[in-house]
């Protein structure tokens, strides 16, 4: 891959910046402005005045994270009414995925009304960029990014891969050794 290099010139520091004291003072002004503005807002609201609410510090991770309603979090696969996965294995999410983090293998469905279904459906959360294109691409509304789970770290790269039962919520995500995603192309 060709790499583009763009030289960026470093701005020279002025004397005022060089001695830092002025910049430290500006920082303190910002900090104390927040302190007094928020203090005033909390006090005024406590007195029953309708002013803007003051900022609240959440003690994450002791307190749960507050996520916006439209936040894109970990993927979730949805089920049909009969409990089978909605996914028809059309591979549109896999195709649109810019990070190529979705790996699906299709198979024939035993249900005569269903043509195709997913045999495996893996998402490598470690590669996912949370763009939400897979949700947009899905023609059968089988994938959502609303599991409200953002604590996705693990000790190994392999454990960043979520398989279909885990994405469906059928089994809890536990650390485990990874299956091979590709049969070894044995040369002898």
Task: Compute the least distance from the CB of residue 129 to another protein, in Å.
Answer: 18
Is residue 161 involved in binding another protein (CB under 8 A)? Answer: no
Taking CB under 8 A as the binding criterion, the range among 28-36, 57-65, 83-91, 161-169 that sits at the site for another protein is 83-91
Q: Which residues pair with 107 in a beta bridge?
A: 117
139 binds another protein (CB under 8 A): yes
- Tally of CB atoms within 10 A around 48: 6
Tell which one of 107, 111, 136, 170 touches another protein (CB under 8 A). Answer: 107
Nearest CB to another protein, comparing residues 84 and 95: 95
Gyration radius (Cα) of the chain, Å: 25
Do residues 147 and 74 lie in contact, with contact meaning Cβ atoms separated by under 8 Å?
yes
Torsion, Cα 100 103 108 112, to 10 degrees, reads: -80
What six digits make up the tokens of 173?
Answer: 């995500």
Question: By the criterion CB under 8 A, which residues form the site for another protein?
Answer: 88-92, 94-95, 100, 103, 105-108, 115-116, 139-140, 181-183, 185-188
């Amino acid at each position: 891959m060709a790499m583009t290099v763009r030289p960026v010139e470093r701005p020279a520091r002025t004397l005022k910046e060089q001695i830092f004291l002025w910049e430290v003072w500006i920082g303190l002004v910002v900090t104390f402005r927040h302190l007094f503005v928020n203090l005033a807002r909390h006090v005024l609201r406590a007195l029953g005045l309708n002013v803007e609410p003051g900022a609240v510090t959440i003690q994450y991770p002791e307190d749960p994270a507050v996520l916006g309603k439209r936040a894109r979090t970990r993927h979730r696969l949805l089920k049909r009414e009969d409990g089978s996965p909605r996914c028809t294995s059309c591979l549109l999410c896999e195709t649109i995925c810019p990070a190529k983090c979705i790996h699906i293998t299709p198979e024939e469905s035993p249900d005569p009304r269903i043509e195709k279904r997913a045999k495996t459906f893996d998402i490598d959360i470690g590669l996912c960029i949370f763009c939400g294109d897979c949700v947009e691409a899905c023609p059968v509304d089988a994938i959502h990014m609303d599991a409200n789970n953002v604590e996705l770290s693990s000790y190994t790269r392999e454990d960043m891969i979520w398989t279909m039962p885990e994405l469906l919520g059928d089994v809890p995500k536990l650390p485990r050794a990874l299956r091979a995603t590709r049969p070894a192309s044995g040369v002898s």
